[in-house]
Amino acid sequence: MTFRSKSLHLFHLQPSRAALALGVTAALFLTGCGDTKDKPGEKAAAPQMPAAPTIATVGNDEIKAYELANEMRLAGVPLGKDKEKPDDQITKRFVRELVQRKYLVQKALAEKLDRDPGFLVEAQRQREQLLASLYLQRAVADTSLSGSRIEAYQADHPMMFAKRQVIEIEQIVFPLNASTKQIPEAAKDAKTLDQVLQLLKSHNVPFNRGESELGSGEMPPEAFDMMQKKAADNVFFTARGGSGVFFVVKEIKPQPLTGEPAAQLAKRMLLNEVAREKATEKPPADLKVRYEGDLERIMALPDVAPKAPPAAEASAAASEAPAATAASKTAPAAASPTPPAATSGDGKGKAPLKK
């Protein structure tokens, strides 16, 4: 890529599709609350919360069963299709949190904080975001994908499917911030991870050393080509979120993705594309958008690419060269080295290999 120095190479992997900021999962619980469409000529009915039993009261306020279920869903507590009962201690913790929240809300209302302009602005923002997410979730759910379209997607992305290869890597992960942004440049002559490790230790930078896997379809083609050509005796570097990742390639082996798993992945990728298209579609011509004052001039300015996030800026500054950008398509969830939690000391804990 653009940063080359003896044995250290810098590039950016693609963002995971999990980073797609649609927030549609937050809407799943609400979509089963009933049909919201009104018949022509009928006055819109007042919105109703779903019917549910009361499981607790806090003063005059009730806590409904759906509130507890939603809190557990958002926290990722598995309930199972058989509606098995969660652990009693888990239930106790969530109910206690709901009671505390109801109590604090009562205190806030007593002080009329619900009339505060700051609250009203944020409440409007969150309402609009949730409604937009609900629309996107429904638009994706209503999308029908033909078998031929799914097959065409697989044919158009051979490195993700039929010609997929897996890269086994060993990595060192460390927090990338203002105090460590000089590390990639300082490590430019490193030929082994042990040399990187010694550098991190000398700067008292916490780290973790482990193993992971990358898929050939989960990174820009030029990055994969470079790793194939320069895999031996080379240390690579990439920024991932708030972490820096040094890694070496241990093995590259073919691992095609075919059959039903391939079809399911292609379907998810296509639905992601649908969601992105819906999220960025322009308002129709008959919907007038008018800007007031100087905003009219500002909105007429040509678009300029946004600045890189702080972590990317730090790594680019450290390398004194711009990092190559990822392709526009969204990668599968295992798109990049998985940063284990940073630790101090010898950092020899291994991250599990992704299968």
Tell me, yes or no, whether 203 and 312 share the same domain.
yes
- Interval 180-223: pLDDT, tens: 999 999 999 999 999 999 999 999 999 999 999 999 988 888 88
Tell me, yes or no, whether 80 and 221 share the same domain.
no
Rounded to whole angstroms, the Cα distance separating 161 from 263 reads 9
Residue 285 placed within a domain:
no
Cβ(162)–Cβ(154) under 8 Å? Answer: yes
Spatial CA neighbour of 61 closest among 108, 106, 110: 106
pLDDT band at 228 (very low <50, low <70, confident <90, very high): confident
Residue 348 placed within a domain:
no
Q: Is the pLDDT of residue 24 over 50?
A: no
Of 81, 106, 141, the residue that ends a domain is 141
Tell me, yes or no, whether 165 and 90 share the same domain.
no
Rounded to whole angstroms, the Cα distance separating 52 from 38 reads 23
Tell me, yes or no, whether 78 and 208 share the same domain.
no
The total number of structural domains that make up the chain: 2
Query: In this structure, which amino acid lies at residue 27?
Result: A
Residue 113 placed within a domain:
yes
What is the model's pLDDT at position 190? 93
Residue 61 placed within a domain:
yes
Query: In this structure, which amino acid lies at residue 217?
Result: G
Tell me, yes or no, whether 59 and 204 share the same domain.
no
Tell me, yes or no, whether 313 and 229 share the same domain.
yes
Tell me, yes or no, whether 164 and 16 share the same domain.
yes
What is the model's pLDDT at position 81? 53
Residue 224 placed within a domain:
yes
Residue 148 placed within a domain:
no
Partners of 57 in beta bridges: 62
Residue 187 belongs to domain spanning: 3-20+160-257+308-319
Tell me, yes or no, whether 213 and 314 share the same domain.
yes
Residue 133 placed within a domain:
yes
Spatial CA neighbour of 71 closest among 53, 54, 91: 91
Tell me, yes or no, whether 187 and 314 share the same domain.
yes
Tell me, yes or no, whether 127 and 172 share the same domain.
no
- Interval 276-321: pLDDT, tens: 999 999 999 899 999 999 999 999 999 998 775 554 444 444 333 3
- Interval 75-118: pLDDT, tens: 988 765 555 678 899 999 999 999 999 999 999 999 999 999 99
Spatial CA neighbour of 29 closest among 80, 59, 72, 86: 72
Of 114, 141, 168, the residue that ends a domain is 141
What is the model's pLDDT at position 39? 57
Tell me, yes or no, whether 250 and 118 share the same domain.
no
Tell me, yes or no, whether 208 and 313 share the same domain.
yes
- Give the rounded distance of the alpha carbon of 3 from its chain centre: 26
Residue 301 placed within a domain:
no
Spatial CA neighbour of 332 closest among 242, 255, 278: 255
Query: In this structure, which amino acid lies at residue 331?
Result: A
Q: What is the value of pTM for the model shown?
A: 0.59
